[in-house]
Amino acid sequence: MWDVTVTIDSMMPTYLGDPSFKRRVVQAIADGKPADVSLLTLSAHIGTHVDAPSHLIPGGKTVDELDLTVMVGPARVVEFDEPGAITAEFLEGIDGLAADERILFKTGNSSLWEERRFAEEYVGLSVDAANWIIDKGIRLVGIDYLSIDAPGDTDLPVHRALLANDIVVVESLNLSQVPAGHY
């Protein structure tokens, strides 16, 4: 079993414009209180998270309406060690990938978690890769950084395509220690 979540703290990178994580202690055992109690302030995009269709599609499903069975089961970790976007051509070249229901992309992004600022150059998916995923009936796709869209795609076309087709998007995975393969 691998824990592929990122640790949440106030210094972690956030997507441009997203608020950072904040924790304020409101009661402390050290001050004679019966329990430690904290107030947390965070964006829904802090740390490892699922994007619901409602994130970008008016009237789309919210996270509580997603089918949990999509998020549990066999997954394949695919390594992409090149700069630039993951393309349909790359996906087409991987034996048996189309038969997988859940794909997690391990890229050079995993090393970006060590930095304490947003990295403007990261690996995302191209629109043709999103269309390939849709056409193959893949149900969940994850990536190891803050956005599944490639840098500069401010209209978020990959998000929109995947979410409109009920494909669960998981972002901000830490796959740095996980070898490529079936899980």
Residue 91 φ/ψ, nearest 5 degrees: -60, -40
55 carries an active-site annotation: yes
Q: What does the alpha-carbon distance between residue 45 and residue 158 come to, in Å, rounded to a whole number?
A: 17
Q: Which residue has the tokens 């402390």?
A: 28
Left (φ > 0), alpha (ψ -120 to 50) or beta: where does 18 sit? beta
Radius of gyration of the chain from its Cα atoms, rounded to whole angstroms: 18
Q: What does the alpha-carbon distance between residue 131 and residue 163 come to, in Å, rounded to a whole number?
A: 12
Catalytic residue among 45, 55, 159, 182: 55
By CB atoms closer than 10 A (0-12, 13-18, 19+), residue 82 is: exposed
What six digits make up the tokens of 42? Answer: 């965070």
Give catalytic residue positions.
55
